[in-house]
Amino acid sequence: MSISNNIWEVAEAYVAGTLTESELGELAGRMQSDTAFAKEFNESTQLIGSITASGKNKRFKTMVGEITQEQTSKQKSKRKFININLLPQVWKTAAVAASVAILTSTITIWSLKPAIKRNDSQYTNISREVAVTKKMQAGQQAELKQLREIIKEGNKPTPPPSDVRYSGTGFALTNDGYFVTSNHVIHNNNKSDFDSVYIQSHDGQYYKAYLVTYDADADIAIMKVEKKNFRFGKGELPYTIATSKAGLGSQIFTLGFPNEDIVYAEGYIHAKNGIEGNDQQYTLQLMAEHGQSGSPVIDQKGMVIGILTAIGSQGEGTNYGSSYAVSSKALIDLMHKIPNEPHLNKTNKLSRLSREEQIAKMEMYTFSVKVYKK
């Protein structure tokens, strides 16, 4: 090889150490007499060295990442039962910096979700962010198993083989498939970054849903189950939606899905308006958790008076255990915007029932909303 050849060919050979004595001599001579060439040659060898090392470094990190996953999943399976208790407390950060690379990407995705929306630290939306890594949650495992079974059965609706990103709660508006959830469950940080939304009904089946309309300010999204002739339950909905605002001090309860199981909580209307005097909202004294966004807030007579949207973080000016609900009035306003507006049920069948009976009836129409992204 003569060093008058392609500079890269020479640089590669130089880095690989395959240049002969005479070629090295020739190279040294040229570099001494031609400083521009010398600079270019030095840069070239450095670049080859760097990009080679960088590639090697990347492959090593990928490998170590894989080893870590293998090892952790081995350990996880041993400790599965201890971890179940932690399930509702782990959250994925809203913004996983893509630049954090493989080194950390499988590991540090869990941390407390920071307060979002309105730059108000006392206000936290309560959709639940779900593990990206399947191995991370025992509950998720169960869910996947269930998915596989559904897929096996073939004729039933099958969710996409991607991971659940967010989950929230939804409840039926009409028996034929219209339902409502919090807008932030599907549009996280105002980005519609979901591929598909499924509900998991009370019998464990998944149904795909599409977005009908939404109001980002009020934090409501109205959706509909895609399946034809779909019905939530046998008859009409047992509850009605309140058209006016409920009074201060009204006793309320809610049903939602902070985890895989439906959860009941009760409280009262603490203030007629929500955060910063927002009259589309209520302030509630009610313990809520992530995943309960979109849950119905129901009064003693079985009227839905609101939709749970956020919890107050502990701090000045907020009580421990306070949360916020969007008034059902905002929901009714939004429904008016749907062409062929669906008819809401006008007969309340819950008013004379005991709380236990009310809950039993409501359960059929309250479900987990799962947002998927590839």
Partner 1 sequence: MQSPIYTDQKLLSALASGDRKVTEMIYQQNYSIINGWLIKNGGSSADSADLFQEALVVLFGKAQDSDFTLTCSIGTYLFAISKHLWYKKLQRQSREPIQLDERLGGDEDEQGIVSEDDINAHHEREVHFEQLDAALEQIGEPCRSLLKAFYHHDKSMHVIAADFGYTNPENAKTQKYKCLGRLRKLFYNMQAK
Question: Where does this chain bind partner 1 (CB under 8 A)?
Answer: 6, 8-9, 40, 43-44, 47-48, 50-61, 63-65, 67-68, 71-72, 99, 103-104, 107-108, 110
The CB-of-3 to partner 1 minimum distance in angstroms stands at 15
Tokens of 75: 């350990």
Q: Which is nearer to partner 1, 72 or 318 (CB)?
A: 72
The nearer residue to partner 1, 85 or 340, going by C-beta atoms, is 85
* Closest distance to partner 1 from the beta carbon of 318 (Å): 24
Our CB check for partner 1 shows the closer of 53 and 248 to be: 53
Q: How many other CB atoms are there within 10 angstroms of residue 345's CB atom?
A: 17
**Which residue, 26 or 40, is less far from partner 1 as judged by CB?**
40
Min CB(133)–partner 1 separation in Å: 11
3-state helix, strand, coil in the chain (%, to 5): 35, 25, 40
> Rounded to the nearest whole angstrom, what is the least distance from the CB of residue 243 to partner 1 in the complex?
48
**Nearest distance, CB of residue 127 and partner 1, angstroms:** 22
How many C-beta atoms lie closer than 10 Å to residue 250's C-beta?
A: 18
The b-or-e profile of 223-235 (16+ CB within 10 A means b, else e) is bbbeeeeeebeee
For the chain, strand residue ranges (E) read: 123-125, 128-129, 163-172, 178-181, 196-200, 206-215, 220-225, 240-241, 251-256, 263-271, 281-285, 296-299, 303-312, 322-327, 366-373
Gap between the Cα atoms of 133 and 350, Å rounded: 41
Closer CB to partner 1, 71 or 190, in the complex: 71
